[in-house]
Every structure is written in structure tokens, then in C-alpha cells.
């Protein structure tokens, strides 16, 4: 995570572990910032600071919404706390919009499970990713967590994804043919 305070100083606690700022890691951050610098001028972006209800109401079928709300049921330090009412309202607004959406949330850790996934979000498809939290004000908030991406459409499997990449590649490079698995390509004689 990268976060700066009002004085533009880096303010993510890192425990003063020297390996947290390994050269390769700093290079990675700088490259990401550089990439944003090239992407930003390519589009007419609009950044709005408003509640999700207003934002989602601006969307309709054919749009794509990515939501990263405060994690329900976990310690949230934002201005207003996030509760079940917010979670349900967010779900209702997302479905009412008719847009495709992805929402990131937590699934489980060794202590607890996110019960809202099987209730509020029960109609969603789910993908999981293991994540290790190095940053956290309290020691018990650090550690391994299973994260979830919830979506209202069936996500591509890894196999489908490779097929799409293959089709895109063979469109760009017509001399390619598929050999063996989906991702092995070779030039046709």
C-alpha cells in the first residue's frame, strides 16, 4: 500500500524493516506510478467524491462497476463506520443498476468467516485470493487472509482466459497455430 500524509510524506507503518524497501520493491512502485502517468492522458477521466448511491445511480446496463467498500465486520477506521445497512444498500443499488460489477471483500481468516458472502451476496460468483497483511495497527490485524472478489457474471476460468489470449494472439499474428495446451503457440511452417 502507498499512502501519503498532508505533508506529502509516506505514512504507511512498515516496522522499520529494511527489506520492506528493497530496491526491487521501490522499482516496482516507481514503474507503477510511471505507468499511470502514461495512462492518464489517454482518457477523459473524472474523479468524483460522493457517496456510492449517487455514483451507482449514474451507471446503467453496459457499464462496469468495481467496488472496494470498507470490509464489513472488520475494524474500519473511516469517517463513518460501515454496517449491514450499507452493505445491503450497496448490493441493492448494484443490482438495480443493471451494470456488471465486481466487489472486493474478505472471505475468511483463521479466526472468522465473512457471513455476508452467503447471505447478502449469495447470488454472486466468487473468486478467491490468499493475501498476507504486513500492515496493520495491531499485530492481530496482520497475517494471512483469504480475500474474495464477488461478481454478478460468470468469470472466465484460467483455461477460458488462455483461449481468449490465444484467439487474440492468432488474430494479431495470423501465422500462429496452437500446439498442445491452450497457451503453447508456434509459427506455422
Ligand X SMILES: C[S@@+](CC[C@H](N)C(=O)[O-])C[C@H]1O[C@@H](n2cnc3c(N)ncnc32)[C@H](O)[C@@H]1O
**Residues within the interface to ligand X (CB under 6 A):** 51-52, 68-70, 78, 80, 82
Residue in the structure block whose three cell numbers are 488474430: 171
| Distance (Å, whole) CA 185 – CA 172 | 13
**Pairwise CA distance, residues 102 & 142, whole Å:** 25
CB of 70 to ligand X, least distance (A): 5
- Complex with ligand X: residue 61 or 80, whichever CB lies closer: 80
- Contact by Cβ (8 Å): 7, 1: no
Nearest approach, Cβ of residue 74 and ligand X (Å): 10
* Residue 78 vs 111, nearer CB to ligand X: 78
Shortest distance in whole angstroms from residue 12 CB to ligand X: 12
Backbone angles phi, psi at 60, to 5 degrees: -150, -175
In this complex, which beta carbon is closest to ligand X, that of residue 75 or of residue 112?
75
Nearer of residues 53 and 167 to ligand X, judged by Cβ: 53
Q: State the nearest-atom distance from the C-beta of 103 to ligand X, in Å.
A: 11
107, 99 Cβ separation under 8 angstroms: no
Amino acid at each position: 500500500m502507498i499512502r501519503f500524509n498532508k505533508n506529502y510524506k509516506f505514512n504507511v507503518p512498515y516496522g522499520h524493516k529494511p527489506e520492506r524497501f528493497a530496491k526491487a520493491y521501490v522499482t516496482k512502485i516507481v514503474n507503477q506510478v510511471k505507468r499511470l502517468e502514461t495512462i492518464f492522458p489517454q482518457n477523459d477521466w473524472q474523479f468524483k467524491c460522493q457517496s456510492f448511491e449517487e455514483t451507482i445511480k449514474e451507471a446503467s446496463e453496459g457499464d462496469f462497476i468495481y467496488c472496494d467498500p470498507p470490509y464489513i465486520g472488520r475494524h474500519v477506521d473511516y469517517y463513518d463506520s460501515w454496517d449491514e445497512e450499507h452493505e445491503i444498500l450497496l448490493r441493492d443499488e448494484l443490482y438495480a443498476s443493471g451494470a456488471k460489477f465486481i466487489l472486493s471483500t474478505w472471505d475468511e481468516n483463521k479466526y472468522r468467516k465473512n457471513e455476508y458472502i452467503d447471505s447478502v451476496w449469495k447470488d454472486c460468483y466468487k473468486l478467491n485470493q490468499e493475501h498476507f497483511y504486513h500492515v496493520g495497527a495491531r499485530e492481530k490485524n496482520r497475517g494471512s487472509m483469504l480475500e474474495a472478489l464477488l461478481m454478478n457474471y460468470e468469470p472466465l476460468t484460467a483455461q477460458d482466459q488462455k483461449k481468449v489470449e490465444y484467439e487474440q494472439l492468432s488474430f494479431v499474428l495470423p501465422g500462429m497455430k496452437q500446439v498442445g495446451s491452450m497457451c503453447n503457440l508456434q509459427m506455422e511452417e
